[in-house]
Amino acid sequence: FDWWHASNLQGYAPICLGLEDFYIRRLYLRIQDCFGRPISSAPDAWFDVVERYSNDNNKTLKRTSKITSCLNLGSYNYLGFAAADEYCTPRVIDTLNRFSPSTSSTRVDGGTTTVHTELEECVANFVGKPAAIVFGMGYVTNSAILPVLVGKGGLIISDSLNHNSIVNGARGSGATIRVFQHNTPSHLEKVLREQIAEGQPRTHRPWKKIIVIVEGIYSMEGELCKLPEIVAICKKYKAYVYLDEAHSIGAVGKTGRGVCELLGVDPADVDIMMGTFTKSFGSCGGYIAASKEVIQYLKYTCPAHLYATSISPPAAQQIISSIAVILGEDGSSRGAQKLARIRENSNFFRSELQKMGFEVLGDHDSPVMPIMLYNPAKIPAFSRECLRQNVAVVTVAFPATPLLLARARICISASHTKEDLLKALERLEEAVGFDYFQISSENRGML
């Protein structure tokens, strides 16, 4: 079963299945109220959700709204920096006053401020690579960089569950794309062996370049990448490793340096390190960290560097300041405490959910924990019940997951207190009700 092609088809699957007429449309009408609910406060441990009620009895959608203060189990605010911080916030405000919300210029035309150059040095040092380049958006970092790194004659081997920004970047590159089974090093090796053998008669080295793309923590699975094995295979077959650390940088590792630190991989063995600032650093944008030569090449050639307005200076300052706190350069131990807290919170919450009988995906230490609901028809009820219990979770359904693998995704933060987590467990149990725990995992998918 080829997930890559399945994901191509996902948008059309209801049509292919002949279901689109009645059920899918009705289902999506109900589901749409569970997504895009506006938030009217910072995404801290608790936040304010604007709840919209819709009434489609007369086929006219009437909406009314109310604000509910909810325990936030949905944001990527892993270290709690997305809310006001005693060290970061005054510096961000100072940068806003000195510069402005926007540079109103591209990086090459006056959009490189001293904050940008400081940020690139800071990121390179933090992730352990010689140089870095930053972009205004994490999504664009993948989708704009991949076509510059590899093109026709090159080969991309991508994990089957890689993020959409990687999928689009790979497709836009013109390189040949092959997919390996999610987080399965033995299958990656099989694909590499096949691809190298396939091109052998034509040239000595069949591909101009081979890039293997993986994620540090898979955002819909909560799983850690099997990076040591993947790096070893890439070395053996002389393929480059591209690692997207959107969900792992800052969130895991003794000093927050991501999966390399957690799994004992030398950053020198990862050729391209990608990450976003939108999760652990409470800001926006993304980075690529690599050798000086690669970064110089990207600075000369990447359209998203040459033609896009640079990342906002206050947002850049937020990243520099949050990294300073993580590294203890603010003179306090708050960074170390946050890192210890997210680890403890994640491991505690995951094990409690499992003890309660929830079917939870993902690995120890990962702050991302999807709870399987299977049937997308359960999403509206689950989401509404959680909201009634003042708990905000992200529900994920088709086409972001396969049709019958709908789930609720919980993201744990260092800003959650033990009391918050105990309350959340109690309320989740209340929200899912009796039937979830009564149904065996084999049957859940059929409901």
Minimum distance of ligand PMP from residue 162's CB (angstroms): 7
Least gap, CB of 276 to ligand PMP (angstroms): 4
Report in angstroms how near the CB of residue 139 gets to ligand PMP at its nearest. 4
Verify binding: residue 215, ligand PMP, rule CB under 6 A: yes
State phi, psi for 318 to the nearest 5 degrees. Answer: -60, -40
The DSSP 8-state label assigned to residue 360 in this structure reads B
Judged by CB under 6 A, the residue of 282, 286, 362, 380 near ligand PMP is 286
Structure tokens at 23: 């059920």
Q: How far is the CB of 161 from ligand PMP (least distance, A)?
A: 10
Asked if residue 122 lies in contact with residue 320, where contact means CB atoms within 8 angstroms, the answer is yes
- Told to check if 77 binds ligand PMP by CB under 6 A, we report no
| Sole binder of ligand PMP in the list 163, 338, 407, 427 (CB under 6 A) | 163
The answer to whether the peptide bond before residue 399 is cis (omega within 30 degrees of 0) is yes
| 128 to 157: interface string for ligand PMP, x by CB under 6 A | ---------xxx--x---------------
| Integer Cα distance of 188 and 178 in angstroms | 10
Is residue 236 classed exposed, middle or buried when 0-12, 13-18 and 19+ CB atoms within 10 A define those classes?
exposed
Residue type at 399? P
Q: Indicate the helix (H) or strand (E) that contains 326.
A: helix 313-326
Smallest gap from Cβ 380 to ligand PMP, in A, equals 23
CB of 115 to ligand PMP, least distance (A): 19
Q: Does 367 bind ligand PMP (CB under 6 A)?
A: no
Q: Cβ neighbours of residue 1 under 8 Å, at least 6 residues apart?
A: none
Is residue 219 at the binding interface for ligand PMP, with CB under 6 A as the rule?
A: yes
**Integer Cα distance of 271 and 291 in angstroms:** 8
Q: Which pair of structure tokens corresponds to residue 262? A: 């957690």
Kindly state whether residue 159 participates in binding ligand PMP, applying the rule CB under 6 A: no
By CB under 6 A, residue 318 contacts ligand PMP: no
By Cβ distance, which residue is nearest to ligand PMP? 138
Quick one: which of 75, 195, 276, 317 contacts ligand PMP (CB under 6 A)? 276
The secondary structure of 227-265 as a DSSP string is HHHHHHHHHHTT-EEEEE-TTTTTTSSTTS--HHHHHT-
189 binds ligand PMP, rule: CB under 6 A: no
Site residues for ligand PMP per CB under 6 A: 137-139, 142, 163, 165, 215, 219, 244, 246-247, 276, 278, 286
